[in-house]
Structure 1
Amino acid sequence: MSSVNLVNVLRGNHIESSHRGHVAVVDADGRLLYYAGNPEKVVYARSSMKPIQTIPVVETGAADRYEFKDDDLSLCCASHNGESFHTDRVLDILARTGLEIDALQCGTHPPRWEETYKKLILAGEQVTPLYNNCSGKHSGMLATAKHMGEDIDSYYLLDHPVQQRILDAVSEMCNYPREQIEIGIDGCGVPVHGLPLKNIALGFAKMANTSQLSASRAETSKRIITAMMNAPEMVGGTERFCSDFMKVGNGRFFGKVGAEAVYCVGDLKTGLGIAVKIEDGNARAVYPAIVHVLAELDLLSEEQQEGLASYYRPSLENARKEKIGELVPDFKLISIN
């Protein structure tokens, strides 16, 4: 099966371009219920896997030893803006583990939040790995390695026990053979996992509906997603879809974006897992697509749709800040009866 058109880009009333992609909706038993495009397509989950990657932080006992609160666990799942409440929390986690900023092996890039970057420039300060959007995930990995008495310098490498435990968690939660998971390198230097879109959705379904998990894994999953929903600002930040979506979801939904236009959602009410991949990797199309899926499945109230309106049909603006078009999702899910 090939990709299908998911989102049109309108300039005026004319479709100027389109974004194709794939959708998979599954339940916790692994049944594919709805799809668009090719739900079997192998994609890199990228940062969408972070809630699952956080499982070993809890299961090893590291989260308890270093007294992780909701803000800490939510930050482990984050692709954050680099706002002060993000970086202060990373520093706090490092301090509790007895580590310094230079222990972070995620590399550097300018903080996503422009005001933070301006302050750094005006103060003549250097951008450090602290501002990397994955520094929360890396601080959790470091805490796990420190707790387990493992090498700190190489925690990001595939053969390190930290990454091997994560690989096990991904395989188990997504019901996909460990040896068949495609391994690449993510933007922050750690392994990234490639597997069929429907299996990625399954991982979120099993976190949302823990009936298929052991008692301890179910408790871990609940702890992580509760942390995300209780502290959604840590997952993204100001003017970020992940944070705004979970606020609007009001304890029902948890969601996580991944680079190259991946988005995953777990719905605690229905136990469904949803995964979307935009074929060309353009992130501007992934939020309209995921909101459209939720609307198509009648999972959003009118009030919630209104709260997400700016993401559902986002405006296109010119340099004069005038609206000159919009992104419009335009697809129907296929139901498997």
Structure 2
Amino acid sequence: MEPLAIVTRDGYIESIHYGYICVVNSSSHVLYNLGDLNTKIFLRSSAKPIQAIPLIQSGAAHEFNFSNKEIAIACASHSGQKIHQETVEGILNKLDLNESNLHCGIMTPYNDDENKKLISSGKSPSVFHCSCSGKHSAMLALAKFRGFSIDDYESIKNPIQQEIIKTVAAFTDEDPNSIPTGIDGCGAPIYLMSMNKIALSYARLVMHSQTEESPYYHACKTVFDSMTQFPDMVAGDNEFCTELMKITKNKLIGKVGSEAVYCIGIKEGSLGICIKIADGNERAIYPVVIHTLKELGILSNHEFNSLKHWYNPVLKNNLNEVVGKILPTFSLNLKTQKPLSLGAKYQ
């Protein structure tokens, strides 16, 4: 682990966030890494773009006439806005299914405006508000297309989950039978993998999306194009993933996962990046993501300036006074980062 970001209060270091960064190309060559690249983490929702590939590769997306907007929400951790709810409901209508078939669970929408509307209406949240409902509707489509049970589509024992894990294995050079799995917050399987293999999966996704002779070309190009054409579907208003892809305009895809995981696939050079904040605190992940892209020379000055409010977010007290900042502190070119001490003055 290396120190990646600090929290300051009146110029003094109050907290330090440690973590890992790995940057690889599609040949599995590690270009940069901070921390042990063999450290294993759960992908969480960063897995969704890879999990969506079998939907397209199988022919299910074609059979059920999925639009790119619907593919985008299959890759999403959406914020529960009306457009997200309607898109997921539209997918279920195509499948002749309804909300009772979704096994993702119910959660409060994390879009503030939508949550306020829900409270003022006196209505309860539904499965359509769940940030993973797009992924689950895609899994239902794959199960229905294959003729497998839709009653336990989210179970690791269901053949569609085995199909998905084989795709994950193909993109990471792993044995599908040797990948440890857990249960994600939405009830679907999630994979425990090393940082370099996770980064490789994103490098492979963007590589296949640009390689017409690849058997994965159509599926990966569809995922990449869907996420970059409809970034609003991937997260929502004022959300980092949406803003990053809007501002960078077709350069990359980015997807956050719970417990402060972030993965990026960069078109130029077919690079994959995996970042993990060890303590799972999301407040540190976005400054670290932007600093990583800045150090790699991916962001133009205009793009960087457009994302600056995510780069050094300020901390305010109850009186709305600025009392501190979150600051990235690392360099990709240094294997050992400068030592940091709590309570030290930070220049």
Same-fold call, TM cutoff 0.5:
yes
Correspondence for 2:150:
152
Compare 130-139 and 326-335 and name the one that shifted more.
326-335
Shift of 1:159: 0.8
How far, CA to CA, are the matches of 1:60 and 1:209 in structure 2? 20
> Of 116, 119, 122, which aligns to 1:121?
119
Matched, 1:162 2:136: no
Q: Which amino acid aligns with 2:222?
A: R
Whole-Å separation in 1 of the counterparts to 2:57 and 2:211: 17
**AA partner of residue 265 (structure 1):** I
Distance 2:165 2:211 in 1: 19
**Distance in 1 of aligned mates of 2:179 and 2:16:** 30
Matched residue SS, 2:216: helix
**1:50 is aligned to 2:48:** yes
Partner of 1:219: 218
How far 1:214 sits from its partner (Å)?
A: 6.2
Task: Tell me by how many angstroms 1:140 deviates.
Answer: 0.4
Q: Is the 8 A contact 1:34 1:335 kept in 2?
A: no
Task: Identify if the C-alpha distance between structure 1 residues 43 and 212 changes in structure 2 by more than 3 Å, giving closer, same or farther.
Answer: farther
Q: Work out whether residues 35 and 335 of structure 1, in 8 Å CA contact, stay in contact via their aligned partners in 2.
A: no
CA distance in structure 1 between the aligned counterparts of 2:100 and 2:119, rounded to whole angstroms:
20
1:124 deviation in Å?
A: 2.4
Judge conservation of contact 1:28–1:212 (CA < 8 Å) in 2: no
Q: Which residue of 2 aligns with 1:239?
A: 238
Q: Aligned-pair distance for 1:23?
A: 0.4
Aligned to 2:185: 187
**Number of equivalences:** 334
The corresponding residue for 2:24 is: 26
Structure-2 residue corresponding to 1:325: 324
CA–CA distance in structure 1, aligned partners of residues 51 and 16 of structure 2: 33
Q: Secondary structure at the match of 1:216?
A: coil
For residues 173-216 of structure 1, give each alpha carbon's deviation from its aligned partner in whole angstroms, at most 9, with x where no partner exists: 11122222121100000111010011000000011122789623
Counterpart residue number, 1:9? 7
SS for the counterpart of 2:279 is coil
Q: Which digits, 9 at most, give the CA deviation of each residue in 1:117-171, with x for residues without a partner?
A: 2222222222111111000000100111111111111000001011111100111
- Counterpart of 1:172, as a letter, is A
AA in 1 matched with 2:10: G
Q: State the partner residue of 2:291.
A: 292
Give yes or no for contact 1:82–1:132 (8 Å, CA) kept in 2. yes
Distance in structure 1 (CA, Å) of the matches to 2:136 and 2:147: 16
Structure 1's 80 and 311: CA in aligned 2 closer, same or farther, altered over 3 A? same
Deviates more, 1:74-83 or 1:311-320: 311-320
Q: CA deviation at 1:270?
A: 2.0
Structure 1: distance between partners of 2:90 and 2:82: 12
What is the one-letter code of the residue matched to 2:154? Y
Whole-angstrom CA distance in 2 between matches of 1:296 and 1:281:
23
1:171-186 equivalences under 5 Å are 171-186=169-184
The answer for the alignment partner of 1:251 in structure 2 is: 250
- TM-fit CA distance, 1:307: 1.0
The separation in 1 between residues aligned to 2:100 and 2:139, in whole angstroms, is: 14
1:81 corresponds to which residue? 79
User: Percent of counterpart pairs with the same letter?
Assistant: 37
| Residue in 1 that maps onto 2:274 | 275
Q: Is the 8 A contact 1:206 1:271 kept in 2?
A: yes
**Offset at residue 278 of structure 1 (A):** 0.4
User: What secondary structure is seen at the aligned counterpart in 1 of 2:275?
Assistant: strand
Of the candidates 59, 63, 66, which is equivalent to residue 65 of structure 1? 63
**Would the aligned equivalents of 1:27 and 1:272 in 2 still touch at CA under 8 Å?**
yes
Structure 1 contact 7–330 (Cα < 8 Å) conserved? yes
Distance 1:25 1:300, change over 3 A: same
Give distance in 1, aligned partners of 2:332 and 2:211.
Answer: 26
Equivalent of residue 96 in structure 1, options 94, 116, 121:
94
Which SS does the other structure have where 2:331 is aligned? coil
Partner of residue 342, structure 2? none
Letter in 2 for 1:39: L
Q: Which runs of 5+ in 1 are unaligned?
A: none
Query: Given the two structures, how large is their TM-score scaled by the length of structure 2?
Result: 0.94
Q: Which amino acid aligns with 1:314?
A: P
Structure-2 change in CA distance of 1:79 and 1:5 (3 Å): same
Matched AA of 1:283: E
Q: Distance in 1 between matches of 2:74 and 2:311?
A: 27
TM-score of the superposed pair, with normalisation by structure 1: 0.96
Q: Is the 8 A contact 1:10 1:16 kept in 2?
A: yes
Q: 1:179 to 1:111 in 2, by over 3 A?
A: same
